Structure 1
Amino acid sequence: MNSMLILYSTIDGHTKTIISHMCEQLQPQLQPTVMPLEQLASVDLNQFDTIVVGASIRYGKFRPNVMAFFEQHKTLLDNKKVSFFGVNMVARKANKNTPETNPYLKKFKAVCPAKVDLYGVMAGRIDYPDYRLFDRLMIQFIMKLTKGPTDATKRYEFTDWQQVQSFTQQLLALHKSADA
């Protein structure tokens, strides 16, 4: 087999952007299959050695289908190499940018029913001009509370691409261990 499936759940598209960067780094050694979590029904998970899920946070929560995936496929995932990474704005802070220090990843790890071999967390981006009014106001409020940027005319990129590269290398090592 020696194949990898990368599933993603994104709200504004940045998780997919991060995955695109990961895929560039994985090639030519590996060409993973990439798809939104919502399209999973069309795929046989048994054909993959490694399964990766990347998901973004909005208002402190992953989308419900993220946990539902881990619940529904627990038995299969427990017998695969599995990785999960979260994308959130809290990870822009140095003391909250690891799976051990990020509150969303800590909470996810505590309740995830399936075995996960590798966790990661990455900071996302704020795209104020593209947000609907409600989202823009809510995110500005949250950023004000957490001492983040609030200028609604700007976009803010917080993703540490070196961190993405490091995680991708760990992911490749995990995948190679599936053959061992």
Structure 2
Amino acid sequence: MLRILVLYSTVDGQTRRIAQRLAERLEKQGNAVELAALETISSLAGFDHVVIGASIRYGKYRPALFTFIERHQAELAEKGAAFFSVNLVARKPGKDSAEGNPYIRLFQSKSVWNPPLLGVFAGRLDYPSYGFWDRNIIRFIMWLTKGPTAPDSVQEFTRWDRVTEFADQIAAQLSEGAQ
């Protein structure tokens, strides 16, 4: 049994929900999994594998993501590790893969860590839960990118089958590493 740490950096909670689904799938495969907010973890000791998920807001990852990676760079490189990005751009065909998503490329250009496994998932749009400024800025961005703009829109773009597939890819990576 492997000990896996699944970390998330989220603004509105969708990245946490995706991380939770990954953790549940990995537990069903016989692993001991701990789920935690990235900002709450100070040590990776005791874990065989680390999965980190982070969301995009206004074209940027939260600064704590890169601070954490820089602080734990050696441990992340040593342990089998994976990264996934959650962003609304991934709702579009061609932008829904690690190879085609601009925010994965942004991550790779800013990160000192090069994880062997990358994933990308579309997030969730929930205008009623946003404050005035966020709602209007996001509506403008959606208007520019031909997304939903009705101020009462709530739309789930996450493809949960892809989340399950990513968990299975992580498990396969772990079994290959154990051989």
State the TM-score, normalizing by the size of structure 1.
Answer: 0.94
Alpha-carbon shift at residue 109 of structure 1 (Å): 1.4
Structure 1 match to 2:136: 137
Name stretches of at least 5 consecutive residues in structure 2 with no aligned partner: none
SS at match of 1:113: coil
- Deviations along 1:110-144, one digit per CA (max 9) or x if unpaired, are 33212311000000010101000000000000000
Question: Counterpart of 1:36 in structure 2: which amino acid?
Answer: A
1:57–1:87 contact (8 Å) kept in structure 2:
yes
1:125–1:157 contact (8 Å) kept in structure 2:
yes
- Deviations along 1:75-133, one digit per CA (max 9) or x if unpaired, are 11111101000000000001101111100101211332123110000000101010000
Runs (4+) off by over 4 Å:
none
Q: Whole-Å Cα distance in 2 between the matches of residues 45 and 115 of structure 1?
A: 17
2:2–2:32 contact (8 Å) kept in structure 1:
no
Q: Whole-Å Cα distance in 2 between the matches of residues 175 and 10 of structure 1?
A: 25
Q: Whole-Å Cα distance in 2 between the matches of residues 115 and 95 of structure 1?
A: 22
RMSD over equivalenced CA pairs, Å:
1.3
Structure 2 match to 1:35: 36
2:23–2:34 contact (8 Å) kept in structure 1:
no
State the TM-score, normalizing by the size of structure 2.
Answer: 0.95
Q: Whole-Å Cα distance in 2 between the matches of residues 76 and 39 of structure 1?
A: 17
Structure 2 match to 1:6: 6
2:4–2:51 contact (8 Å) kept in structure 1:
yes
In the alignment of these two chains, the number of paired residues is 178
Q: Whole-Å Cα distance in 2 between the matches of residues 171 and 9 of structure 1?
A: 19
Question: Counterpart of 2:23 in structure 1: which amino acid?
Answer: C
Tell whether 2:73 aligns with 1:97: no
1:2–1:179 contact (8 Å) kept in structure 2:
no
